[in-house]
């Protein structure tokens, strides 16, 4: 059963029950309090709550202490269906551009203004959009039922991801300000009272100025720094630590130390801590499906880029533990399953797929296995990685064939799709790849540029199918885990997800439940594999650590 929610979460709300056939009952009009009461009373029947945008509706429920188990996010669904190859010729695809298209655009910034007054925005009626999405899926099912099932799964998984993202933001990740502050003081010196450069950084800046004989140098200014380095006789073209590391000069050591400290200060310094950590919790803003491939992004806080340096500040509460689980070599396992490549799946039967490649005699060392596999996934064109490719192709023709085919498709300027049906964008109007290459009268330089553009786009589509399908697996994994964690709750508390990092999850749990959580994480991974790939015998191996501090994992 579906209940479509329209209106505004803190104003007036209409609930419209829609049955599986898409027939809507009479809408019920409620005020904000009535809305909360209605959700509370209907939730035990496990309806699927349908709303325009989870980020708009769910926070109000969470603040009222109300979780929901299942939902349908129309904004996320619209974006998938609008761009999917599978929906060509369907009514949703052919509909004139409307506010759902705007809201579904990658920026997503306009979502709030668009939906604040919900149904009153032209063409934004969620009941109509929900029915249209159902019709679209039905139409896909008529020609390809399996394709429609996968798209339906994708919409459900992403909707659940959106619930999880809001729940993680609401609860936050346990974060010890004192540990973080101690780390900052150790690395940078005491917090400057009125902003400005901390003492240890300033001392390093002085060393740099002395070594370069440039008393007024601001090491934060890339052009100034580059000029000063050249004046000191160093042959450099940039100021990255990559370039600098090769050089021998008294300035290099303090300069590298300065860059490291400046990075820590600006990305995760005191200002960051004040902005993002409250009451011992870091509240990240995830953007579900924020990346074209379907991976998540963040908006502020940088939860997906927490540097190793500060992970020690993530500490379980007293009497609680952190269970950190990481899917090992996820993308190779994904392409093995997509291509139904028995040989690669067998190599992944080892806990370490790279070691499995060595044991199978494909390559001689684990390092070679890793670099070869990354080359296959990213489209290496040179170096060790490219040299090892033929061995992989011989050993795993199906899996490698799948990513090669995705690359060729992209080079022609065509779309590729993930396992569940998210399609890659079509190249922009200024893309000159395939067409320009095929014209014989193109100037040589244009021709070269066109070929380069085609190859670049091919590397993107090659990676898209693996990265995007891995993201789908990960959302199914998390959705299953979320459900299992609920069942583990007891009087000691309830374990809950606190971090998601592409192929890694963290659960904050009462310590006595840590083993059960580890079991749940494993079972959820197995479930996700079966949900996507049925009985194809591919293992999704996990590395699981129960720790009190994030920096103890791995």
Contact status, residue 476 vs residue 527, Cβ threshold 8 Å: yes
- Distances in whole angstroms, Cα of residue 511 to Cα of each of 168, 209, 233, 282: 19, 51, 58, 21
Q: Taking CB under 7 A as the rule, which mask of x and - marks residues 238-277 in contact with DNA?
A: xxxxx--x-------------xx--x--xx----x-----
Selected from 293, 417, 469, 509, the binder of DNA by CB under 7 A is 293
Nearest to 343 by CA among 355, 357, 331: 357
Q: How far is the CB of 450 from DNA (least distance, A)?
A: 16
**Is residue 409 close enough to count as binding DNA by CB under 7 A?**
no
Write each residue from 182 to 221 as x if it is in contact with DNA (CB under 7 A), else as -, in one continuous string: ------------------------------------x-xx
Among residues 91, 190, 300, 390, the one that binds DNA under rule CB under 7 A: 300
Nearer to DNA (CB atom), residue 15 or residue 255: 255
Among 161, 301, 332, 480, binds DNA (CB under 7 A): 301
141-148, long-range: CB < 8 A, 24+ apart: 144/86, 147/86, 147/421, 148/86
- Segment contacting DNA by CB under 7 A, of 127-135, 141-149, 371-379, 506-514: 371-379
User: Quick check: 390 binds DNA (CB under 7 A)?
Assistant: no
- Tell the smallest beta-carbon distance from residue 102 to DNA (Å): 17
The distance of closest approach from Cβ of residue 391 to DNA in the complex, given in angstroms and rounded to an integer, is 15
Tokens of 375: 């080359």
Handedness of CA 120, 126, 131, 136 (dihedral sign): positive
* Least distance in angstroms from the C-beta of 17 to DNA: 36
Nearer to DNA, 282 or 464 (CB): 464
User: Please, which residue, 31 or 384, has the CB nearer to DNA?
Assistant: 384
- Collapsing DSSP to helix, strand or coil, 534 comes out as coil
**Can you tell me the distance from the alpha carbon of 167 to that of 45, in angstroms, rounded to the nearest whole number?**
21
**If binding is defined by CB under 7 A, does position 180 make contact with DNA?**
no
Q: Going by C-beta distance under 8 Å and a sequence separation of 6 or more, which residues neighbour residue 357?
A: 347, 363, 366, 369, 372, 373, 395
Q: Does 298 engage in binding with DNA (CB under 7 A)?
A: yes
Kindly tell me which residue out of 381, 438, 439, 452 binds DNA, with binding defined by CB under 7 A.
Answer: 381
- Which of 138, 164, 133, 160 has the alpha carbon at shortest distance from 149? 138
- In which element (H, E) is residue 51 found? strand 48-51
Among residues 301 and 421, whose Cβ is nearest to DNA?
A: 301
> Using CB under 7 A as the criterion, what x/- string covers residues 451-490 for binding DNA?
-----x--xx--xx--x-----------------------
3-state helix, strand, coil in the chain (%, to 5): 55, 15, 30
Binding residues for DNA, rule CB under 7 A, total 59
Distance in Å from the first CA to the final CA of the chain? 43
375 contacts: CB under 8 Å, gap ≥ 6: 385, 386, 388, 389
Position 423 contacts DNA (CB under 7 A): no
Helix (H, G, I), strand (E, B) or coil at 175: strand
User: Minimum Å distance from CB 94 to DNA?
Assistant: 27
How far apart are the C-alpha atoms of 465 and 459, rounded to whole Å? 11
Say if CB 281 and CB 172 are below 8 A apart: yes
8 Å CB contact between 343 and 536: no
545 binds DNA, rule: CB under 7 A: no
What is the closest distance, in whole angstroms, from the C-beta atom of residue 263 to DNA in the complex? 5
Binding footprint of DNA on the chain (CB under 7 A):
218, 220-224, 226, 238-242, 245, 259-260, 263, 266-267, 272, 285, 287, 290-293, 295, 297-302, 304-309, 371, 374-375, 378-385, 456, 459-460, 463-464, 467, 501-504
């Amino acid at each position: 059963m579906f209940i479509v929610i329209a209106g505004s979460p803190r104003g007036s709300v209409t609930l419209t029950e829609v049955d599986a056939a898409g027939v809507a009952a009479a809408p019920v009009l409620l005020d904000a309090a009535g809305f909360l009461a209605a959700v509370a009373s209907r939730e035990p029947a496990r309806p699927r709550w349908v709303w325009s945008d989870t980020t708009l509706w769910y926070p109000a429920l969470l603040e009222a202490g109300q979780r929901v188990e299942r939902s349908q996010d129309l904004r996320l669904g619209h974006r998938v269906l609008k761009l999917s190859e599978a929906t060509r010729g369907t009514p949703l695809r052919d509909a004139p551009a409307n506010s759902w298209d705007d809201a579904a655009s990658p920026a997503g910034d306009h979502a709030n203004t668009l939906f604040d007054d919900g149904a009153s925005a032209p063409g934004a009626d969620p009941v109509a959009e929900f029915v249209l999405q159902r019709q679209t899926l039905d139409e896909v099912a008529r020609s390809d039922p399996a394709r429609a099932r996968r798209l339906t799964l994708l919409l459900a998984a992403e909707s659940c991801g959106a619930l999880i993202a809001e729940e993680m933001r609401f609860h936050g990740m346990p974060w010890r300000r004192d540990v973080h502050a101690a780390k900052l003081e150790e690395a940078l010196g005491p917090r400057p009272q009125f902003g400005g450069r901390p003492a240890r950084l300033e001392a390093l800046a002085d060393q740099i100025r002395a070594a370069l004989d440039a008393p007024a140098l601001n090491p934060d200014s890339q052009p100034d720094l580059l000029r000063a380095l050249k004046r000191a006789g160093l042959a450099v073209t940039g100021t990255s630590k990559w370039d600098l590391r090769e050089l021998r000069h008294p300035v290099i050591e303090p300069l590298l130390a300065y860059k490291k400290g400046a990075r820590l200060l600006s990305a995760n310094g005191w200002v960051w801590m004040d902005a993002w950590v409250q009451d011992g919790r870091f509240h990240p803003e995830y953007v579900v499906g924020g990346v074209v491939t379907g991976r998540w992004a963040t908006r502020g806080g940088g939860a997906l880029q927490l540097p190793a340096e500060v992970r020690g500040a993530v500490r379980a509460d007293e009497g609680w533990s952190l269970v950190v689980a990481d899917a090992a070599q996820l993308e190779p396992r994904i392409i093995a399953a997509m291509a139904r490549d028995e040989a690669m799946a067998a190599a992944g039967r080892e806990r370490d797929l790279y070691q499995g490649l060595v044991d199978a005699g494909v390559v001689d060392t684990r390092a070679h296995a890793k670099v070869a596999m990354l080359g296959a996934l990213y489209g290496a064109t040179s170096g060790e990685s490219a040299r090892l490719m033929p061995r992989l192709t011989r050993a795993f023709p199906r899996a490698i064939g799948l990513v090669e085919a995705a690359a060729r498709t992209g080079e022609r300027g065509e779309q590729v799709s993930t396992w569940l049906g998210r399609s890659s964008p079509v190249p922009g109007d200024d893309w000159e790849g395939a067409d320009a290459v095929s014209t014989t009268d193109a100037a040589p330089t244009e021709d070269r540029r066109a070929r380069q553009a085609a190859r670049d786009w091919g590397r993107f589509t090659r990676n898209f199918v693996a990265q995007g399908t891995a993201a789908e697996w990960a959302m199914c994994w998390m959705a299953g885990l979320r459900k299992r964690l609920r069942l583990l709750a007891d009087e000691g508390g309830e374990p809950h997800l606190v971090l998601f990092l592409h192929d890694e999850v963290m659960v904050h749990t009462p310590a006595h439940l840590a083993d059960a959580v580890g079991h749940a994480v494993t079972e959820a991974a197995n479930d996700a594999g079966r949900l996507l790939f049925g009985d194809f015998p591919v293992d999704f191996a996990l590395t699981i650590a129960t720790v009190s501090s994030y920096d103890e994992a791995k």
